[in-house]
Amino acid sequence: MQEARVVKTTCPYCGVGCGVLATQMEDGSVEVKGDPDHPSNFGKLCSKGAALGETLGLETRLLFPQIRGKRASWDDALSLVADRFSSAIRQYGPDSVAFYVSGQILTEDYYVANKLMKGFLGSANIDTNSRLCMASSVAGHKRAFGADTVPCSYEDLEDADLLVLVGSNLAWCHPVLQRRIEDARKSRPHMKVVVIDPRETASSDGADLHLAIAPDGDVALFSGLLAYLSKAGVVNHEYVRDHTAGFVEALNEAQRWEEASLVEATGLSAGQLHQFYDLFARTSKTVTLYSQGVNQSVSGTDKVNAILNCHLATGRIGQNGMGPFSITGQPNAMGGREVGGLANTLAAHMELDNTEHRSLVKQFWKAPALAPKQGMKAVELFDAVASGRIKALWIMGTNPADSLPNAGKVEAALASCPFVVVSEVVKQTDTSRHAHVLLPSAAWGEKSGTVTNSERRISRQRPFLPMPGEAKPDYWQFAQVARRMGFRQAFDYGGPDAVFREHATLSSFANAGARDFDIGAYADITAEAYAELSPFQWPAPSEGNVNPRHFFAEGGFYHADKKARFIPLKRKDHLPARKSGQTKYASTVRLNTGRIRDQWHTMSRTGLSARLSAHSAEPFLEISPQDAEDAGLQQADIAQVTSPHGSVLLRVVVTSRQKTGAVFAPLHWTDQFATNARIDRLVTADLDPFSGQPAYKHTDVSISPFNAVVYGFAVTRNKPSLKGLDYAAAVRCDGGWRMDFAHGSYLDQSALLKHLRAPQKNSGHWSEYRQSGDAYRAACFDEDGLVVACLTSAKPVSLSRSHLVSLLAKEEWSQQDRLSVLAGFPSATQPSKGAIVCACMNVGVNEIGKAIAEGAHCVDSVAEITMAGTNCGSCRTEIERMLHGQFQQAAQ
Ligand SMILES: Nc1nc2c(c(=O)[nH]1)N[C@H]1C(S)=C(S)[C@@H](COP(=O)(O)OP(=O)(O)OC[C@H]3O[C@@H](n4cnc5c(=O)[nH]c(N)nc54)[C@H](O)[C@@H]3O)O[C@H]1N2
Ligand SMILES: Nc1nc2c(c(=O)[nH]1)N[C@H]1C(S)=C(S)[C@@H](COP(=O)(O)OP(=O)(O)OC[C@H]3O[C@@H](n4cnc5c(=O)[nH]c(N)nc54)[C@H](O)[C@@H]3O)O[C@H]1N2
Ligand code: SF4
Ligand SMILES: [Mo]
């Protein structure tokens, strides 16, 4: 027997960058485990990483190039792309073309894209979804440090005595870091965690202090902190004197915040402010970790600098357990920044606006047409598509029709653009339906290259599967088009190792410590060494002994005078009255958006896993009891949420975890899995003035009940058709699909069964039951078991969804089982799992509740009894919450 080959690679989801061991099994399946040797995760994986093996099927893959919906050869497709880009440039100039790429492509892909656009096409119109994600952190870093440098490493999270999470739901979005922190807290129980987030989250559940800050109250909070640190006498005057500039001005501004306005702007009590300020002042080993609650705001860059100001003032930077830590979202957000993939940067952390940098890069690339000025940032870029200025657009590894603000406008812009190329791994997305040319890309497990995680660690993504159909790597696609546009020599790469070598060489070109990003030690890496490359952190210059764990302990910033800058933040700019200028409704609330534990963005890959889809199967709206009452909404109703841009329908989850005046909805739902649930159709395109990052967390919306005539739930073996249903969400489950739906007008039985793709009434065994009005229940069986079951009602249906879902995959059927289908609940002798909490071990809320009722007193004892939380551990905070009796059973 041949021995199974284990391939070391890196998880394609979040910026933690966990090492993965992938093994192809004899039956063709792939076993995925955490890599115990990878220094980012030491063998741990979260639920998404652990389910990677379930997302590798080819059923939804794009396998061949297409031109206007018809299969085409690579040669024809690439030649057409080259022709259309060349002719647009000839006719309308270089700024008439654009690339819009992604923090999910590899560094090598990104490098080639950036080189082609900025060095050879003569425009800087290349931007990326990192604009939506990290741009405010980049801008804040550059203002303070003179370069986009992340000074910390993950060990600092474990070594800190105080960890402040600002606008980060780490437990769901970076779960392996959350696990590392939980483990560290076990061995260092004095370590404190503070969470600053307007809503209660899985991350605030385990924290020592949760500050439910008012939306965008962060600049006020950290300005108040700076003034407090000065008053408390903990300013590190030596560090401030030797390594920084502008302290006095920043402090003066911070001191303008008197207590009353701090209380007003932050929505926190004076007591809470004092408690946090005192803790921060007392604890020198402090890490402030921040994410989208900071970045995605009209004051995102100022929030970043408000945090950096406090760390610079105390000199808490560059040492073990200290520092400001911007955590990245995507697996290669950092790699994209390194190659300069943003419209306002150049390459290797050089700047477009810097003449010296421009001439260095021009010389290095032998570039015939180095972009003379910054390009358009994402939102501005799509505005230019809408106004017809962009004649040819290439989108790669991102789904802007769903993820950009005012997505309806974005989609219309795409539909009107004369030439759109989309490089994708799946056949159909809300973006790809507007492509003139669709190019099949190699996916995770097939592609080869490097990614950089949040702690500046570069790791290999290695292939362990062949590229299916005619899929090709992303970098190859750009290089082929470049060659067809006449740039053969500059894009003649033998493989990703050649691209990496060039990138590493550029990073050290005329550098000698002048720029932070230097991986010159790898400039001559051989193909063999690249194949074997172990994860390493940058900087890694070719000479000198550098410890890459930290930056800036001894200053050494990247402004010309080597000093960091304090940024004075004006009080008047951050008073709560400052709002977007949009229309107000009578019942306006603030819409906050973000992520759920087990889905990744637009669900194109996590949506393939039944396990991952079990945790949260519908697009929902979290709303406080007061707001729900005011809007006339009850638990499980459907809400219509409206902004000036559009309207969506979402399932109502009434919860006191949400503060009155604000609601929360996930960003994940698209037309591929739901109807009328694309949240970014509502989100307004307000931008941070420095970074151009959209303020996704704050849109004024109005909320009203959607008057559904019928509500229902169904499980079906075949993929249901959602089109035409007002509210519908369908996700995979074992053996088929589960669907929740509601409709505003009468839905007759045959129309419903058509949506469910049910067999004809004269085939299969049907049982049906009709109560008065709209209450209709039906199930159809064939020799293999249940084909379809649906239950409808004039009210939100009350039934055990997990029970019905479990029946689809059931092989042995008793009479009693069949009866239980129409009842919607298991028979008295069969316990129902309830909503799934632990995706890995398929453990439901009822099973955990029972274990607690029977005496389990801690997460470990629940785990022992039920197995929940024993694999990836992503559900442990939810179990903890149930243990503390706060759990509300939103679903049965
Ligand atoms: N499961 C999962 N994990 C992911 C992803 C995913 O899609 N799914 N995506 C990855 C990506 S690309 C990213 S960028 C990261 C994002 O990771 P996070 O930033 O942690 O996630 P979000 O849910 O976007 O937002 C974080 C929190 O910001 C809070 N917030 C909103 N407004 C404010 C405010 O004014 N102030 C403060 N202090 N907080 C506020 C929200 O309530 C929310 O809980 O996650 C990564 N990890
Ligand atoms: N309302 C709201 N909107 C948001 C946010 C928010 O918090 N709230 N967050 C924003 C943030 S931080 C982010 S990062 C974005 C994410 O938004 P997107 O980038 O639009 O979301 P994804 O679903 O990750 O899109 C990636 C696409 O690339 C495809 N793909 C996967 N692998 C590959 C590959 O190797 N090559 C190619 N060519 N394609 C591939 C996938 O199938 C998928 O269609 O959303 C932003 N939008
Ligand atoms: S924390 Fe989860 S999603 Fe993020 S890299 Fe690790 S396994 Fe992947
Ligand atoms: Mo992101």
pLDDT in tens, 696-750: 999 999 999 999 999 999 999 999 999 999 999 999 999 999 999 999 999 988 8
Question: Ligand 3, atom 1: nearest CA belongs to which residue?
Answer: 176
Reference 267, options 199, 315, 328, 316; nearest CA is 199
Mutual orientation of helices 247-255 and 218-231 as an angle, nearest 10°? 110
From the number of C-beta atoms within 10 Å of its C-beta (0-12, 13-18, 19+), residue 443 rates as: buried
User: Is the same domain home to 159 and 190?
Assistant: yes
Ligand 3 pocket check for 14: Cβ under 6 Å:
yes
198 lines ligand 1 (CB under 6 A): yes
Report the C-alpha gap between 99 and 103 in whole angstroms.
Answer: 13
For ligand 4, a single-atom ion, which residues have Cβ within 5 Å?
133, 329
Model confidence at 2, pLDDT cuts 50, 70, 90, reads low
Rounded to an integer, the average pLDDT of 611-618 is 92
In whole angstroms, what is the distance from residue 423 CA to residue 285 CA? 45
Nearby residues of 66 by Cβ (< 8 Å), 6 or more positions away: 72, 77, 435, 437, 438
Determine which helix (DSSP H) or strand (DSSP E) holds 170, and give its type and residue range: helix 170-173
CA dihedral 197, 201, 203, 204 (to 10 degrees): 60
Is any ligand 3 atom within 6 A of the Cβ of residue 21?
no
Same domain, 666 and 687: yes
Q: Is 667 a member of any domain?
A: yes
Q: What is the pLDDT of residue 582?
A: 43
Out of 327, 346, 369, a domain closes at: 327
- Residues within 6 Å of ligand 2 by CB: 102, 104-105, 129, 132-133, 292, 296, 329-330, 396-400, 402-403, 423-426, 429, 441, 443, 447, 474, 593-594, 601-602, 604, 667, 679-680, 683, 696
* 128 lies in the same domain as 141: no
Whether residue 772 has pLDDT greater than 90: no
Which residues, 6+ apart, have CB-to-CB distance to 174 below 8 Å?
14, 15, 16, 168, 327, 454
Write down the pLDDT at residue 36.
98
Pocket of ligand 1 contains residue 594 by CB under 6 Å: yes
**Closest approach atom of ligand 2 to CA 423:** 38
**Sequential DSSP letters for 197-241:** -SS--HHHHT-SEEE-PPTT-HHHHHHHHHHHHHHTT---HHHHH
- Which atom belonging to ligand 1 lies closest to the Cα atom of 597? 1
Q: 569 CA distance to ligand 2 centroid (A)?
A: 32
Tell me the pTM: 0.95
Task: Indicate if the pLDDT at residue 771 is higher than 80.
Answer: no
Confidence of residue 3 (pLDDT cuts 50, 70, 90): low
Distance of alpha carbon 99 from alpha carbon 127, whole angstroms: 7
- 50 CA → ligand 3 middle, Å: 8
Ligand 1 lined by 173 (C-beta under 6 Å) = yes
- Domain end, chosen from 487, 512, 537, is at 512
452 in a domain, yes or no? yes
Using alpha carbons only, give the angle 822, 823, 825 rounded to the nearest 5 degrees: 120
pLDDT tens column, 9-51: 999 999 999 999 999 998 889 999 999 999 999 999 999 999 9
- What total of structural domains would you count in the chain? 6
Question: Which residues are within 8 A (CB) of 274 and not within 5 positions of it... i.e. 6 or more apart?
Answer: none
Yes or no: say if 260 and 269 are a contact pair by the CB < 8 Å rule: no
330 lines ligand 1 (CB under 6 A): yes
Task: Decide: 168 in ligand 1 pocket, CB within 6 A.
Answer: yes
Residue 889 has pLDDT above 70, yes or no: no
Residue 19 lies in a domain: yes
Phi first, then psi: what are they for 751, rounded to 5°? Answer: -65, -45
Domain shared by 172 and 237, yes or no = yes
- Residue minimizing CA distance to atom 45 of ligand 2: 403
**pLDDT tens string 223-261:** 999 999 999 999 999 999 999 999 999 999 999 999 999
Half-sphere exposure of 664 (CA within 13 A, CB side): 21
Helix (H, G, I), strand (E, B) or coil at 138: helix
Residue 365 has pLDDT above 90, yes or no: yes
Side-chain-side CA neighbours of 543 within 13 Å: the count stands at: 5
Q: Which atom of ligand 2 is nearest to the CA of 595?
A: 7
Distance 797 CA to ligand 4 centre (A): 35
Please indicate whether residue 12, judged by its CB atom, sits closer than 6 Å to ligand 3. no
Q: What is the pLDDT of residues 842-885, one digit of tens each?
A: 888 888 888 888 888 888 888 888 888 888 888 888 888 888 76
**Does some domain include residue 747?**
yes
Q: Which atom of ligand 3 is nearest to the CA of 12?
A: 8
What the block records as the tokens of 698 is 């704050």
Which of 686, 706, 726 is at the close of a domain?
706
Query: What is the predicted pLDDT for the residue at 858?
Result: 86
- Give the angle subtended at the CA of 225 by the CAs of 224 and 230, to the nearest 5°: 100
* Closest among 732, 641, 722 to 679, alpha carbons compared: 641
From the CA of 106, the nearest ligand is 2
Mean pLDDT of 547-559: 96
Q: Is 70 helix (H, G, I), strand (E, B) or coil?
A: strand
Q: For position 888, what pLDDT does the model report?
A: 40
Q: What is the mean pLDDT of residues 364-391?
A: 98
Question: Which of 63, 100, 106, 132 for a ligand 2 pocket mutation test, highest count of atoms within 8 Å of Cβ?
Answer: 132
Instruction: State both tokens at 632.
Output: 């006339």
Residue 700 shares a structural domain with residue 720? no
Q: Assign residue 666 the CATH number of its domain.
A: 2.40.40.20
Higher pLDDT pick, 566 / 27: 566
Tens digit of each residue's pLDDT (9 = 90 or more) over 476-488: 999 999 999 999 9
Helix (H, G, I), strand (E, B) or coil at 264: helix
Q: Which of 9, 18, 154, 157 is the best mutation target for the ligand 3 pocket, counting ligand atoms within 8 Å of the beta carbon and taking the most?
A: 18
Is 524 part of a structural domain of the chain? no
Is 368 within the bounds of a domain? yes
How far is the centre of ligand 3, averaged over its atoms, from the C-alpha of 41 (Å)? 9
Instruction: Say whether 299 sits in a helix, a strand or coil.
Output: coil
Reduced to 3 states, what is the DSSP secondary structure of residue 422?
strand
CA–centroid distance for 190 within its chain: 31
pLDDT at res. 579: 47
Same domain, 125 and 142: no
- Can you give the CATH number for the domain in which 226 is found? 3.40.228.10
Quick one: the chain helix, strand, coil %, rounded to 5?
35, 20, 45
CATH code of 845's domain:
1.10.10.1100
Q: Is the pLDDT score of 204 beyond 90?
A: yes
Instruction: Give residue-wise pLDDT tens across range 783-838.
Output: 999 999 999 999 998 888 988 999 999 988 887 788 788 888 877 667 778 888 88
Kindly give, in sequence order, each residue whose CB lies less than 8 Å from that of residue 670, ignoring residues fewer than 6 positions away.
399, 402, 429, 430, 602, 603, 677, 678
CB 354 within 8 A of CB 479: no
583 has pLDDT over 60: no
Domain that holds residue 864: 836-883
Share of the chain above pLDDT 90, in %: 84
Looking at the CA of residue 594, tell me the nearest atom of ligand 2: 7
Tokens 């061995």 sit at which residue? 187
- Residue-wise pLDDT for 378-410, tens only, equals 999 999 999 999 999 999 999 999 999 999 999
pLDDT tens for each residue of 104-163: 999 999 999 999 999 999 999 999 999 999 999 999 999 999 999 999 999 999 999 999
Rounded-to-integer distance, Cα 278 and Cα 169, Å: 24
Tell me which DSSP letter residue 572 carries.
G
Please tell me whether residue 252 adopts helix, strand or coil conformation.
helix
Based on the fold, state whether residues 734 and 814 are members of the same structural domain.
yes
Q: CATH number of the domain at 20, please.
A: 3.30.200.210
Examine residue 395 and state whether it is found in any structural domain, yes or no: yes
Determine the pLDDT at residue 62. 98
Q: In angstroms, rounded to a whole number, what is the distance separating the alpha carbons of residues 304 and 306?
A: 5
Query: Are 316 and 453 in the same domain?
Result: no
Spatial distance between the Cα atoms of 121 and 124, rounded to a whole number of angstroms: 9
Q: Are residues 167 and 208 in the same domain?
A: yes
| Candidate from 174, 444, 872 with most ligand 3 atoms within 8 A of CB, to mutate | 174
How long, in residues, is the chain? Answer: 892
Q: Which tokens belong to 653? A: 């989850």
Within a domain: residue 547? no
Single out the residue of 828, 754, 813, 832 nearest to residue 788, CA to CA. 754
Give yes or no: residues 128 and 154 share one domain: no
Ligand nearest to the CA of 129: 2
Instruction: State residue 48's pLDDT score.
Output: 97
The verdict on 247 and 229 lying in the same domain is yes
Question: What digits encode the pLDDT tens for the residues 317-332?
Answer: 999 999 999 999 999 9
CA of 19, nearest ligand number = 3
**Cα of 833 vs its chain's centroid, Å:** 29
Mean pLDDT within 349-357:
96
Q: 664 CA distance to ligand 1 centroid (A)?
A: 11
| Residues of the chain above pLDDT 70, percent | 97
Taking all residues of the chain, what is their mean pLDDT, rounded to a whole number? 94
Domain co-membership, 818 together with 850:
no
Roughly what angle, to the nearest 10 degrees, separates helices 859-866 and 845-853?
110
